[in-house]
Chain A
């Protein structure tokens, strides 16, 4: 049973998501919030397993909410919800601690798939996000805390060149789920890298 929280300021979309999730037997909606402040109160009380967070929230942004969740409810997975996959905020949320993202305009089945995938440790990564991840790792060399494995580096390179999951999977003789699992892990390392960077900046090298 996946316990979820929905944080979305567009009322209609929020309601539709709630109906969609509640219709699914494997999922339970713990709360719906229309802004980050409400969400923080609800999460403190309810501790959901996964939160669907709109990237454009009024008041405190979705990115700030992600940072808060990582500090106060680290067991909760964060799935960002965005209208455009070219949005700069996607990478910013991933850097801040989000685990994946979905497009708002996806088919309902695909949305449910994405939620289930995230719970088993799989994430999507577009070519733009991949390039930004590469840049982030290149800007300051990876600390020994979280180096990328060879396979992860391979996948990251292929993604940043614009290959589809099925092409990468075919090329490396693995399944697309495995590709997405590697993406999930890459994001985890991005989080560690980002935290180390922030600490380094704070304490000075």
Chain B
């Protein structure tokens, strides 16, 4: 029969324990934290164990071994319940310390072995209850307890490496239960099984009480840590989102700027090109009208030629502004047709070699404009200055777009040295430089111009639909 002190001690500890169990269960249902879940399991297992003992310790019925009628077996229920608390404790400890251990696998394996050993021992005790093997049973019982204590001490020492409140609390809790278990065993084996009016079970209760106190504190710290982690993760996501939004805004702005630049360029081209030519046409017409200037009908022919040239210019603008015309093979066909018509009109023979293979890529409108300009310049020079009778054009498109224009004319007049750069050639160098390409001028039986532009530069990176 326990003393009154022990009885009140047990009752109050049970009260505190069940309160902790209920509170942490509610907390778990809210937070769904894994470690908290295991802790609740541990708390309820202890509560059940204490309840069992409370019911049977105060009565005359045996509590250590009970005979179960239906199975015709003696079962050491008391011991089983104790081992259940141990298993829950190990599970809890394993999960609570999980982030700590560097070598996660070794800790994990040792925890699993513990659980197997405890389960095996529990089963063994049930068997031992029915078979008289007292000496062996006693030895096993002691050795298992020693092993468990050693394990608990080892875990405690490892945990001390981390210097945080969370780990300190767990260490304190483990220490408390080890200390009071040892104390209760000590009391059991001596002192008439009573110390300070409290028996072994009473001292165990102390252990449980302090243990739960520290572990609950640990849970409190843990929940705070979890909360902080979540806040950090949220902050990180928000930062990433802001970055993405900034990038989007920047790229939109860049696209806007590019479009604005293009508009300005087109406006300049129309302004410079058309304005002057149309004004000339007007003046020609006016002055041809009035007989006082003595301009004969010849100017009418010039008006006609100029107008036709202007329409052709605008036609080219329509061509390179229209993104439906951006396929490389279409571009090559267009410049071939242009060259053939232009040379045909000037009475110069064309020998054309087409590319063997044309990659299926799209070229930006600006690049098309520049390529067309280079071609026109080169052909214009040939027709106006070279006095050539034959032109060879070869186009290839492997890694670079290479356009080779060779005429059999009189060549580019050069004063001296390698750098033969008339205004037209310099302009062409500039233009092709803008496309990160190169221009070679060869003088072999006439003039050969080789334009080379990397396909990666021409490729339309802003083609949103097809990228």
Please tell me which stretch of A32-40, A136-144, A162-170, A195-203 contacts chain B, meaning at least 4 of its Cβ atoms lie within 8 angstroms of it: A162-170
User: Is B311 within 8 A of A164, CB to CB?
Assistant: no
Which residue on B lies nearest to A104, using beta carbons? B311
Partner of B333, one of A86, A87, A103, A161: A161
Interface of A is mostly: loop
CB distance from B331 to the nearest CB of A (A): 10
Tell me the complex Cα distance, A164–B345, Å.
12
Partner of B334, one of A104, A162, A164, A167: A162
With A85-B315, A86-B325, A87-B318 as known contacts, state yes or no: A166 contacts B344, CB within 8 Å: yes
User: Is B340 within 8 A of A162, CB to CB?
Assistant: yes
CB distance from B384 to the nearest CB of A (A): 22
> In this assembly, does B396 line the interface, its C-beta being within 8 Å of a C-beta of chain A?
no
User: Is A163 within 8 A of B340, CB to CB?
Assistant: yes
User: Is A84 within 8 A of B318, CB to CB?
Assistant: yes
Interface string of A97-111 (1 = CB under 8 A from B): 000000111000000
Q: How many interface residues does chain A have, given as a range? A: 20 to 34
| A/B pair count, beta carbons within 8 Å | 58
Sample 8 A-B pairs with CB under 8 A, ordered by A number: A84-B315, A84-B318, A86-B316, A86-B322, A103-B311, A128-B334, A161-B336, A163-B340
Tell me the complex Cα distance, A83–B308, Å.
11
Interface string of B327-357 (1 = CB under 8 A from A): 0011011111110110010000000001000
Contact residues of A between 162 and 202, Cβ < 8 Å to B: 162-164, 166-167
> In this assembly, does B319 line the interface, its C-beta being within 8 Å of a C-beta of chain A?
yes
Q: How many residues of chain B are within 8 Å of chain A by beta carbon?
A: 24
User: Is B318 within 8 A of A167, CB to CB?
Assistant: no
The interface residues of chain B lying within 8 Å CB-to-CB of A127 are 330, 333-334, 336-337
Contact residues of A between 117 and 173, Cβ < 8 Å to B: 126-128, 131, 160-164, 166-167
> In this assembly, does A113 line the interface, its C-beta being within 8 Å of a C-beta of chain B?
no
> In this assembly, does A64 line the interface, its C-beta being within 8 Å of a C-beta of chain B?
no
Tell me the complex Cα distance, A112–B138, Å.
123
With A128-B325, A166-B344 as known contacts, state yes or no: A86 contacts B319, CB within 8 Å: yes
The interface residues of chain B lying within 8 Å CB-to-CB of A126 are 337
User: Is A163 within 8 A of B336, CB to CB?
Assistant: yes
User: Is A160 within 8 A of B314, CB to CB?
Assistant: no
Q: Which B residues are closer than 8 A to A by beta carbons?
A: 307-308, 311, 314-316, 318-319, 322, 324-325, 329-330, 332-338, 340-341, 344, 354
With A85-B315, A88-B324, A105-B308 as known contacts, state yes or no: A160 contacts B340, CB within 8 Å: no
Which residue on A lies nearest to B319, using beta carbons? A86
Q: Count chain A CB atoms within 10 A of each CB in B322, B325, B330 and give the residue with the most.
A: B330
Which residue on A lies nearest to B320, using beta carbons? A86
Tell me the complex Cα distance, A160–B327, Å.
12
The interface residues of chain B lying within 8 Å CB-to-CB of A164 are 337, 340-341, 344
With A84-B311, A128-B330 as known contacts, state yes or no: A162 contacts B322, CB within 8 Å: no
Partner of B311, one of A83, A88, A128: A83
The interface residues of chain B lying within 8 Å CB-to-CB of A162 are 332-338, 340
Q: Count chain B CB atoms within 10 A of each CB in A86, A126, A160 and give the residue with the most.
A: A86
Tell me the complex Cα distance, A1–B149, Å.
119
Which residue on B lies nearest to A131, using beta carbons? B330
The interface residues of chain A lying within 8 Å CB-to-CB of B319 are 86, 128
The interface residues of chain B lying within 8 Å CB-to-CB of A85 are 315
Tell me the complex Cα distance, A143–B362, Å.
30
The interface residues of chain B lying within 8 Å CB-to-CB of A103 are 311
The interface residues of chain B lying within 8 Å CB-to-CB of A84 are 311, 314-315, 318
The interface residues of chain B lying within 8 Å CB-to-CB of A160 are 333
With A105-B307, A105-B308, A164-B344 as known contacts, state yes or no: A86 contacts B315, CB within 8 Å: yes
The interface residues of chain B lying within 8 Å CB-to-CB of A128 are 319, 325, 330, 333-334
The interface residues of chain A lying within 8 Å CB-to-CB of B333 are 127-128, 131, 160-162
